């Protein structure tokens, strides 16, 4: 078995690209990766605000921190300034609220519900809806507020 060596006509030197076999690229082209990431970022920036419940309510502001999230979508009951009650985005009359809540509680594993009430509503009206939530089978009620509101100061610290 003999090996043959082919001499090129340029005296053993090669100029330009080699023909035939191509060498693998040693550099990673990240431009397509960056393009895909930017498109995904824009999609999530547009879609994130649309994932909230779309009932316009002027929530009161408090200094409380946010509650930890659940695995499934939380049930939200909204009480508007006009007195309308909505479960998620479906309007419900006050007379049928407890019945609908019992039907929903029978299907859910969690007893957590979030109550969104307009800050201008009387306290009594909010408490009536909270009583209906409890009667409907939801004992874990979280009141939804906006963050950044006034905080109650400690009376002992205020006197110093």
Give the integer Cα–Cα distance in Å for 102 and 81.
25
Per-residue confidence at 2, pLDDT binned at 50, 70, 90?
A: low
Per-residue confidence at 157, pLDDT binned at 50, 70, 90?
A: low
Give the integer Cα–Cα distance in Å for 111 and 93.
22
Output the pLDDT for position 38: 95
Give the integer Cα–Cα distance in Å for 86 and 78.
5
Which has the minimum average pLDDT: 99-108, 123-132, 139-148?
Answer: 139-148
Residues 6 or more apart in contact with residue 108 via CB below 8 angstroms: 72, 75
Average pLDDT for 137-160: 73
Output the pLDDT for position 18: 56
| CATH ID of 75-145, from 1.10.472.50, 3.40.50.150, 1.10.1200.10, 3.30.420.270 | 3.30.420.270
Domain residue ranges in the chain: 75-145
Give the best-scoring range by mean pLDDT among 5-9, 66-70, 71-75. 71-75
Output the pLDDT for position 39: 94
Contact indicator for 85, 77 with CB cutoff of 8 Å: yes
Average pLDDT for 34-60: 81
Residues 6 or more apart in contact with residue 104 via CB below 8 angstroms: 75, 87, 136
Contact indicator for 54, 89 with CB cutoff of 8 Å: yes
Write down the residue that tokens 């019945």 correspond to.
99
Q: 19 or 58: whose pLDDT is higher?
A: 58
pLDDT of residue 123 exceeding 80, the answer is yes
Q: 150 or 102: whose pLDDT is higher?
A: 102
- pTM for this model (two decimals): 0.52
Q: 125 or 153: whose pLDDT is higher?
A: 125
Output the pLDDT for position 158: 53
């Amino acid at each position: 078995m003999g090996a043959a060596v082919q001499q090129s006509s340029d005296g053993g030197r090669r100029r330009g690209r080699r023909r035939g076999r191509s060498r693998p690229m040693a550099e990673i082209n990240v431009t397509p990766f960056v393009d895909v990431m930017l498109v995904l970022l824009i999609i999530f920036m547009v879609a994130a605000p649309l994932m909230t419940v779309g009932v316009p309510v002027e929530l009161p502001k408090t200094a409380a921190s946010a509650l930890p999230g659940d695995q499934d979508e939380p049930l939200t009951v909204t009480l508007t300034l006009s007195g309308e009650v909505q479960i998620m985005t479906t309007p419900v009359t006050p007379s049928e609220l407890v019945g609908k809540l019992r039907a929903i509680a029978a299907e859910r594993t969690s007893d957590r519900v979030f109550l969104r009430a307009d800050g201008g509503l009387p306290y009594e009206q909010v408490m009536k809806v909270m009583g209906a939530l409890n009667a409907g089978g939801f004992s874990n009620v979280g009141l939804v507020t906006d963050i950044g509101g006034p905080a109650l100061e400690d009376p002992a610290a205020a006197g110093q």
